[in-house]
Amino acid sequence: MADDWDSVAKSAMKILGDKGKIPKYSTALPKAEAANQKSYDDFKKTREELKAKLLALQNAESVTKDAFSQFQDEIEESDLGLDSKNKEDAKKIAEARKMLSGWIQNSMDTGDQNLKNLKELDKHLMSLSNYKPGS
Number of residues that this document lists for the chain: 135
Name 42's Cβ contacts closer than 8 Å, sequence gap at least 6: none
Examine the pLDDT at 1 and tell me if it is beyond 60.
no
Report CA 21 to chain centroid distance, whole Å: 51
Name 78's Cβ contacts closer than 8 Å, sequence gap at least 6: none
Q: What is the pLDDT of residue 129?
A: 79
Per-domain boundaries in the chain: 51-135
- Alpha-carbon span 118 to 127, nearest angstrom: 14
Q: Is the dihedral of CA 83, 84, 88, 94 positive or negative?
A: positive
> Where is 129: in which H helix or E strand?
helix 87-129
Q: What is the pLDDT of residues 55-110, one digit of tens each?
A: 999 999 999 999 999 999 999 999 999 999 999 999 999 999 999 999 999 999 99
Q: What is the pLDDT of residue 135?
A: 59
Tell me which of 16 and 131 has the higher pLDDT: 16
Q: Is the dihedral of CA 121, 127, 130, 134 positive or negative?
A: negative
Examine the pLDDT at 15 and tell me if it is beyond 80.
yes
Question: Which of 12-16, 103-107, 117-121, 130-134 shows the lowest per-residue confidence on average (mean pLDDT)?
Answer: 130-134
Using CA atoms, how far residue 50 sits from 11, 111, 126, in Å, is: 45, 20, 11
Q: What is the pLDDT of residues 27-59, one digit of tens each?
A: 999 999 999 999 999 999 999 999 999 999 999
Q: What is the pLDDT of residue 130?
A: 82
pTM: 0.73
